[in-house]
Structure 1
Amino acid sequence: MSEARERAATGPPVRPRGWARRHRGLLIAVVVLLLGAVLVSFRPWESCGPGLRAVDADEESVGSSYVCVGLNLDSGPMRDDDPLDPLEKLIKSRNETAGDNFKTIVVLENLAPDPKVDSQPFPFVRREIQGAITAAWPKNGPPGIKLLLANYGSNADHWRVVAEEIVAAAGAQRIVAVTDVGTSSENSRALVAELSRHGIATIGATVTADNMNTDPKGARIDNFFRVGPTNTDEARAAAGYIAAHGFRRVMMIQGVSKEDTYATTLADAFQNSSKVPVIFTKTYDVKPLTDTSRETYLRGLFSRWHNDICGAKPDLIYFAGRGLDLGALVAALAGDGACEGLDTVTVMTGDDASTLAGKPLQLNKDISVKLRYTALAYPDQWDMFAADPAHPTYKKNHDNFVAEFTGTHGFPRGNCGTVPR
């Protein structure tokens, strides 16, 4: 039989199935697992939107595995279940009605503070955003204003990203100013200096560190303006109060983080201004924490200082540190046992104590604590102008201001305005 006939009779040779075909189910499972790993790593559904970039976050602390940093051009969410989402939607809706002849103001802050790292509580940040919305769109405000939020993350670590995005969008978005600037720090100084280098003005609504108007090299920053006084002004006011009220044994507790220029310049300013000698000083720093919050860590640290403070017997403690840290100190002073010969102590600090607004403090326990701070303004102060013939219009102007801004967008009356820090 010929070879052709033999092939025709027996059919084509039978080839064994390849490995992939024999283990098709296993191969599909491996592909699915690999694809899942890729999706978990890159999480494409978590796109942060134009002007923003995703960075890793502590999900336990901020409720999200990522946070968006940069300039929020679309006013979308910046993390999982973003608690600022209602405000971002309000901003987006108002921006869409600004028309063609608009100007844009950027509000710069750490919009997702991490309790393990940051000193400002989230409710304070939310009030800042509400204040910015109220200022941009009051009851009878002119049209043509847009508002954009910028997030530079914890410790302003991502300030370079923010600077790049603001500079890139400045022309198309007609950005006229960047305001708020968040907290006084080395990173925020660098950011303000970089924006100035590109001709963008910044307004420090909430920064008081003496060196905020100079760049990291010490050169003066052009086009930077601050609303509040400096820490030197606050320290001088505190020193005058201390001397006038007869305090004689003054102790100082100060934050010494090089990044936190609010605390360091406030401490220096008080040392230079105090008319009463500082008899005792203790310092603290907060390193990156992994298993506890900043407040809890400092509550334990200040508790360990209790015996030292009892031994020093100060009648006043000047606290050169953040408001959140002050809350931990007050809790330790008042609640960690009585001191022989120290029944009452006054604690004085700078304006960052305002971040504790709305948070109850237990001041009268084992030791009675009297808390004082150099507030920049308070509502009742305007009443004194009503009967002052030298300032006949001050009270009227203030009342008109309150009427224009209070209650706008349904925000509570107590959220009117912010204070420098």
Structure 2
Amino acid sequence: MPNPLRYRVFYTTRQKVVTSALALALLAWGTVYAVGRLTTPEDRSCAPGVARPVGSDECVGVSGDGFDFRVPALGPVARAIDRENDKLEPGRYATVALLLPLTSTSPSMRIKILHEVQGAFAQQYAANNRSNNQVPKIRLVLANTGKGNAHWRTPVAALKAMTGAPHHLRAVSGIATSSAPVRQAVTELTGADIAVVGTTITADDLTNGPGRKPFPGLARVSPTNSDEARALAHFGRVDAARAILVHDARDGDHYTDTLKSAFSALLEKSPYQPQLFTSPEDPNDEGSTANTFRQIAHLLCTTRANTVFFAGRHTQLRQFINALGARGCTHRPFTVLTGDEGSYLGADPQLDRSVLGGGLTVRYAALAHPDAWQPAAGRPTPPRGGSKDAYQRFRSMMDAVSGPEAGPVGPVELSDGQAIIAYDAMATAVHAIRQATVKGPLPSLEDVGLQWPQVTGPLRVEGASGWICLDNHGNPYDKAVPVVELTRDKPRFVRIAWPDGKPPTAECMPPRRR
């Protein structure tokens, strides 16, 4: 049978002409479309100042206009920041950036970051609305370094270009992890005369000190790992003969490397060699370390140790706790002591909380805790080093940004201490900016980072986490270290410990260091 389409479509000369014209038109359109796709760059923008790097779907860059970096939980606080920024007069404000891995895929890291942004915004609102009209006003922007801080160069380059009008960037806060990319970012920023205030960095080698100044203009509001270890030792009065160290054998992580060194110094007289594990390249990955911890738990049962110092990141800490909870010698009690990474586990759904208490106690050196300055039966607050009033001022600001006055900023949770320490870091940045403002409405860029030696004595920052008295190198002196215990419910504050074994004097003047 002849093809009917042949006679219906191509039967007459007119039909042949029309069909050919349509075919040529479609071919031409397809060619133009293909050439356009090949010659026109792909639009990878997410928002003004924010774009997706080649090979990544993360939105990386700097924004203070309410963009949430496609992280829905950040939406409410990002919009609140935008509303506050919109009230500011051009030329009358200084900008502070919060540099964080906002698009981290780690659930516990995302919670930590949300709380830090909320705390930083609470301090911005306090500085602009509750400080007797001091100047300059403060503009807050969010800077995303991407998962694992892999894209830190993009926001850092943008921040370096924001020191002039209209932004007048004068400080960068955040700086939340003691990792190699963060170290590089801090080096780049401080090398450009931008003051940096670290929130939760604790690595000993991310500091300045006598005779060395790799990060000019860097200040920190959290104690170093060595200070945390000293505080834990004073708190626990640990017998080194019955203590053992479990640490990550992977080099290059400044947090675990310096915590390992600090704990090793404390356990110099321990009869046991350290037990080693090797974390994945990305310490947020599960890897196979759970298998190693099952073996280490078995080996611990053969020792006389009753205290374990753990130097590792929070994912491996959680795996270790779960493995130790399933040990064969459950009749043997163990206490695990670790650094501030323990704060991540309060909201970790994979932690087996049923093993906590009884024969397994897990305590960590927190950076802040909401109960630290609240008096309780049998637990009076220290006479110095912090105050209930300073914490109450923080609470009043969190109430303000949680409700219609300035927020809402989303659900607020204070037990991990992240909002508290971010609030204090922002307060320290604001303090330096305003101390440096002596001529005109704004301080010079380089003058802000020169203020740290004077943040002491009566010029200290009365932080919600405790007094922030900086030495000549921008490091906190004898900073309060809340010791917190993981429980089956929520983390429980135990007691404040001190790196020097006791609170600072009323003057809070750092001693001369050789």
Higher relative contact order (CA 8 A, sep 6+): 2
Residue 48 of structure 2 aligns with which residue?
A: 50
Residue 281 of structure 1 aligns with which residue?
A: 275
Which one of the candidate residues 310, 316, 321 is aligned to 2:312?
Answer: 321
Bigger share in helix: 1
Q: What secondary structure does 1:212 align onto?
A: coil
CA contact (8 A) 2:225 2:259 kept: yes
Change (3 A) 1:67 1:315: same
How far residue 389 of structure 1 moved from its aligned partner, in angstroms, is 10
How far residue 25 of structure 1 moved from its aligned partner, in angstroms, is 8.2
Residue 8 of structure 1 aligns with which residue?
A: none
Matched residues in 1 for 2:397 and 2:314: separation?
27
After superposition, the CA RMSD in angstroms is 4.0
Q: How does 1:126-275 map to 2 (within 5 A)?
A: 126-138=114-126, 140-141=130-131, 142=133, 144-172=137-165, 173-213=167-207, 219-242=213-236, 244-246=237-239, 248-274=241-267
Matched residues in 1 for 2:239 and 2:208: separation?
37
Q: What secondary structure does 1:169 align onto?
A: coil
Residue 417 of structure 1 aligns with which residue?
A: 420
Counterpart amino acid of residue 421 in structure 2: T
- Per-residue CA deviations over 1:101-127 (Å, capped at 9, x if unaligned) read 111111111101123xxx952111100
Which one of the candidate residues 59, 74, 81 is aligned to 1:84?
Answer: 74
CA contact (8 A) 2:62 2:141 kept: yes
Counterpart amino acid of residue 137 in structure 1: Y
Is 1:407 aligned to residue 410 of structure 2?
Answer: no
Residue 347 of structure 2 aligns with which residue?
A: 358
Matched residues in 2 for 1:168 and 1:389: separation?
45
Q: What secondary structure does 1:66 align onto?
A: coil
Q: What secondary structure does 2:205 align onto?
A: helix
- Per-residue CA deviations over 1:74-126 (Å, capped at 9, x if unaligned) read 342323x64312221111111111122111111111101123xxx95211110
TM-score by length of 1: 0.77
How far residue 321 of structure 1 moved from its aligned partner, in angstroms, is 1.2
CA contact (8 A) 1:324 1:353 kept: no
Counterpart amino acid of residue 277 in structure 1: S
Identity of aligned residues (%): 26
Relative to structure 2, which stretch is displaced further, 89-98 or 406-415?
406-415
Counterpart amino acid of residue 272 in structure 1: A
How far residue 73 of structure 1 moved from its aligned partner, in angstroms, is 4.6
Is 1:330 aligned to residue 321 of structure 2?
Answer: yes
How far residue 240 of structure 1 moved from its aligned partner, in angstroms, is 3.7
Matched residues in 2 for 1:414 and 1:381: separation?
12
Q: What secondary structure does 1:162 align onto?
A: helix
Matched residues in 1 for 2:299 and 2:157: separation?
48
Q: How does 1:385-404 map to 2 (within 5 A)?
A: 395=387, 397-398=389-390, 400-404=392-396
Residue 370 of structure 1 aligns with which residue?
A: 361
CA contact (8 A) 1:103 1:175 kept: yes
Which one of the candidate residues 324, 335, 359 is aligned to 1:346?
Answer: 335
Residue 57 of structure 2 aligns with which residue?
A: 66
Matched residues in 2 for 1:49 and 1:304: separation?
49
Relative to structure 2, which stretch is displaced further, 150-159 or 255-264?
255-264
Matched residues in 2 for 1:55 and 1:353: separation?
33
CA contact (8 A) 1:296 1:328 kept: no
Rg comparison, structure with higher value? 1
CA contact (8 A) 2:48 2:63 kept: yes
Change (3 A) 1:89 1:399: closer
CA contact (8 A) 1:20 1:27 kept: no
Matched residues in 1 for 2:254 and 2:269: separation?
24
Change (3 A) 1:96 1:214: same
Change (3 A) 1:414 1:389: closer
Change (3 A) 1:38 1:288: farther
Relative to structure 2, which stretch is displaced further, 152-161 or 181-190?
152-161
Is 1:122 aligned to residue 120 of structure 2?
Answer: no
CA contact (8 A) 2:208 2:218 kept: no
How far residue 374 of structure 1 moved from its aligned partner, in angstroms, is 1.7
Matched residues in 1 for 2:68 and 2:381: separation?
49
Matched residues in 2 for 1:396 and 1:347: separation?
29
How far residue 70 of structure 1 moved from its aligned partner, in angstroms, is 2.2
Counterpart amino acid of residue 83 in structure 1: A
Aligned residues between the structures = 386
How far residue 347 of structure 1 moved from its aligned partner, in angstroms, is 0.9
Q: What secondary structure does 2:258 align onto?
A: helix
Structure 2 residues not aligned, in runs of 5+: 1-12, 403-410, 426-480, 482-514
Matched residues in 2 for 1:232 and 1:108: separation?
25
Matched residues in 1 for 2:36 and 2:73: separation?
28
Matched residues in 2 for 1:414 and 1:255: separation?
29
Structure 1 residues not aligned, in runs of 5+: 1-12, 58-64
- Per-residue CA deviations over 1:126-150 (Å, capped at 9, x if unaligned) read 0010011111103625482210001
CA contact (8 A) 1:51 1:73 kept: no
CA contact (8 A) 2:149 2:182 kept: yes
